[in-house]
Chain A
Amino acid sequence: MELKNKKLEDELFNSIRQDVLLQWSTGNDVDFDEAVAYHKEIPKHKVFSDKLIEAKEQGNTLIQPRAGVALVDKHIELLNYLVNEGEADLLPTTIDSYTRHNRYHEAEEGINESRKAGRSLLNGFPAVNHGISLCRKVNESVNVPVQVRHGTPDARLLTEVTIAGGFTSYEGGGISYNIPYSKNIPLDKTIYDWQYVDRLIGKYEEAGITINREPFGPLTGTLVPPCISHSVAIIESLLAAEQGVKNITVGYGQCGNLIQDIAAIRTLESLTEEYLHKFGYEDVVVTTVLHQWMGGFPQDESKAFGVISWGAATAALAGATKVIVKTPHEAMGVPTKEANASGIKATKQLVTMLRDQQMVSISDLKLEKDMIMAETRCIVDKTLELGDGDLAEGTIRAFQAGVIDIPFAPSRQNAGKVFPARDNTGAVRFLECAHLPFTQDIKSYHHDKMKERADYEKRDMSFQMVIDDIYAIGKGKLVGRPR
C-alpha cells in the first residue's frame, strides 16, 4: 500500500469495495445507483448539508444531541422524543462501541441481550447489523436530518450501509477516529481506509447527492489546545476534499475560556477555508461545530446544567453553525431520553437568547486569534514539508516526529509528549510543547502564561497542574487550583 493524498482510482476503489461489502451479511444489500435514487427523494429539510448552509447564511446555531440505543423501534422513539420534547434541530445516530471496532458478532449478541433485558445493553445503534432497510426506517420515521456519529477506525462498511440507509451526514476521519479511538492501528491504514470513505461520499456528490462530512474535532476531549485540533481538522478536510467531498463541518471541543473558545471557532473556519483554497478546492462549503465541554462533568445535575449552558453561550457568541450538546447525566454515562432532552432545551434557551449578540472584536480576542493561527500554520506547514508536499505522507511522518501530538491519546502512534494545562485565566496552553514545531516566540508565550499561573498558585509548573485541571470542572471550577 502506497499512501498518497490522491483521489482513489475507480479500479482500485471497486476492488476494495468487493471485500468491504463481504465483511458482514448486510453489505450484500448495498446498491449504489438504487441508493442515489433513494437520496434524490429525500425532502430538502431532511438533508443535513442544506440545513447547515441555510444556518450559515442566516447566522443561526443549530442544536444536535448525541443518542443511540440497540433496538430500532426504541431508537426511533428516542430520536422523536429529542425533537418533539427536546426541540433538537439536527439528530444523531450514535453507533455502539462493538460496531466501532468491527465486532459485529458481539454487537449481534448485544442486540439479543437487549431484547431479553428490555433495555439497551449497547451504548449505541448497531447500524451494520441492522442493515440498510432498518436504517431507512429510522430516517423515514423522523422529520429532521440525521447524522451518523461514531468513532470507528475502519468505517468503510458502516459508511456503505448507513449512507445507502439514507443518513445525510457522516462523522469521522483517518486521524481523528484513530489516534483518540484506538491503541494499535497503523495511521497509514486508517488514512487509507478513510480515503475510501471520502471517495464514496465523493461518488455520491458526483451523482448529485451531497453528504455532509465532519472530521471529529474534540479528539481526546480534554484540554486539547485549539491549534492541535485545528491542524487535524484542516488536514482531514484537505484529504476529504481530494476525494471529492464538498460539504465539510469542522469541529472544536469547548475548552472553557470564552475568549479562547470564540477565537478558536472563528479561526477554525477561516483557516480551513484558507487551506482549501490554497490547494485549489474552491467549491467546498465549510461550516463549524462547537462541542460542549467533553471532559469530566459534575455529578450534580444543576451544576452540569451550568456547564451545558456555558457551552451553549459560547457556541452562540462564537457563531458556530451547530453545537453538540451534553446532558445532565454526563458524569454518570449514557443518559436517559429525558436527561438528553433537558440538555437540548437548556442549550436552546441560551442560543436563542443570544442570537442577536456577538462578541465584538476586542484586543484580547484578536491576540488569541493571532496566536491560534500562527501555531496552527506552524504545525500544518511543517506536516506538508515532512511529506515533500504530500499531505498523507506528511501526516504519518508528523505523528512519528511528534510534530502533531494529541494530548492523552491512547494510540501508540502518538508521541504523547505534549502536556496541556490551563493558564491563570483558564485558557488552555502548553505546559510542555515537546516536539511541536513552534517558533521560539510561541514557546515563550506558553511558558510565560504557565509561569504566571504557577507564581499565582505559589507552586512549581508540574504534571500535578494537569491532573488538577482534568478534575476541576467536575469539582466546580475551571482552573485546577491546589487542593
Chain B
Amino acid sequence: MNGKKIVLGVIGADVHAIGNKILAYAFEEAGFKVINLGVMVAQEEFIKAAIETGADAILVSSLYGHGELDCRGLREKCEESGIGDILLYVGGNLVVGKADFEDVKAKFLEMGFNKVYPPGTLPDVAISDLNEDLGVSDE
C-alpha cells in the first residue's frame, strides 16, 4: 500500500461496469486504497465519498457520451465543498460522436480536470500519472 486513497466511479446514468472493475483491480494492485462507487454515480456522491475518506483524487469514467453534460460543474462543486484542490481525472468516450481528442481534452481541462484520457487507455498510464501527481515513488 502507498497510503494514497482514490475515489473511483462511472458518472451520471452510465452503467458501463467492466472498465470500472478493471480499474479498481489495477489501482489496488498498484498500492492505492480504492473507494469504488461503481456505476451511476452522481457528482455529489463522488464529493461526499472524497470528503468522508479524505481521498487524494477522484477518478471519473464516462463511456456513454453524456460525459459532457454529466461532468460540468464538478470542479466548482468540489470548491464549494472545501476540496477545491483535489486531483480530478476523467477518461472514456466523453462526448457524443467522433471528435478530435485534443478538442475533447481541451474542453475537459477547461472544466477543471487535471488529466483527460482517451478511450482504450490502459490502467498503467493513469497509475503512473497519479504516482507522479501525488509524489509516490515507483519502486
Contacts and interface: CB of A to CB of B under 8 A. Distances in A.
Interface of A: 97-98, 100-101, 103, 106, 110, 113, 119-123, 151, 180-183, 220-222, 295-296, 299, 329, 331-336, 339, 408-410, 463, 467, 470-471, 474
B100 to A, nearest CB: 10
Contact of B22 (A119, A151, A220, A467): A467
A329 B95 CA distance: 13
B97 to A, nearest CB: 6
B12 interface: yes
B93 interface: yes
Given A336-B97, A409-B17, A182 B40 contact: yes
A82 B97 CA distance: 16
A335 B97 contact: yes
Contacts of B39: 183, 410
Contacts of B21: 408
A331 B66 contact: no
Interface in B34-88: 38-40, 63-66, 68-69
A470 B25 CA distance: 13
B128 to A, nearest CB: 15
B98 to A, nearest CB: 5
Given A331-B119, A408-B21, A470-B18, A123 B64 contact: yes
B23 to A, nearest CB: 10
Contacts of B22: 467, 470
B15 A410 contact: yes
Of the listed residues B65, B98, B99, the one surrounded by the most CB atoms of chain A closer than 10 A to its CB is: B98
Given A123-B96, A336-B97, A110 B15 contact: no
10 contacts: A97-B12, A97-B14, A101-B13, A110-B66, A123-B65, A182-B15, A183-B39, A220-B18, A295-B18, A408-B17
Contacts of B97: 119-120, 333-336
Contacts of A295: 18
B36 to A, nearest CB: 11
A332 B117 CA distance: 12
Interface residues of B, number: 30
A316 to B, nearest CB: 28
B101 to A, nearest CB: 9
Contacts of A332: 93, 98-99, 119
Contacts of A120: 96-97
Contacts of A181: 15
Contacts of A333: 63-65, 93-98, 119
Contacts of A113: 69
A118 to B, nearest CB: 12
B136 interface: no
B120 interface: yes
Contacts of A98: 13, 66
B134 interface: no
B5 to A, nearest CB: 22
Contacts of B68: 121
Q: Is the interface of B mostly helix, strand, loop or mixed?
A: loop
B25 A467 contact: yes
A481 to B, nearest CB: 15
Contacts of A221: 18
A100 B95 CA distance: 18
Nearest to A463: B25
Given A98-B13, A182-B15, A299-B120, A121 B96 contact: yes
Given A121-B69, A410-B39, A336 B18 contact: no
B106 interface: no
A463 B12 CA distance: 28
B93 to A, nearest CB: 3
Contacts of B18: 220-222, 295, 408, 470
B49 to A, nearest CB: 15
Nearest to B92: A333
A119 B98 CA distance: 12
Contacts of B14: 97
Nearest to A96: B66
B9 to A, nearest CB: 11
Contacts of B38: 183, 410
A122 to B, nearest CB: 7
Contact of B96 (A101, A119, A222, A470): A119
A408 B10 CA distance: 14
Contacts of B98: 329, 332-333, 335-336, 339
B17 A123 contact: no
Contacts of A329: 98
B35 to A, nearest CB: 15
B11 to A, nearest CB: 11
Given A121-B96, A123-B66, A151 B15 contact: yes
Contact of A220 (B17, B25, B63, B93): B17
Residue from the set A121, A333, A410, A463 with the largest chain B CB neighbour count within 10 Å:
A333
Task: Please name the 7 residue pairs, one residue from A and one from B, whose CB atoms are nearest each other, closest first.
Answer: A333-B93, A410-B17, A123-B65, A410-B39, A97-B13, A408-B18, A101-B13
A151 B93 CA distance: 19
B102 to A, nearest CB: 14
B69 A471 contact: no
A471 B121 CA distance: 10
A172 to B, nearest CB: 14
A97 B66 contact: yes
A134 to B, nearest CB: 20
A327 to B, nearest CB: 10
Nearest to B67: A333
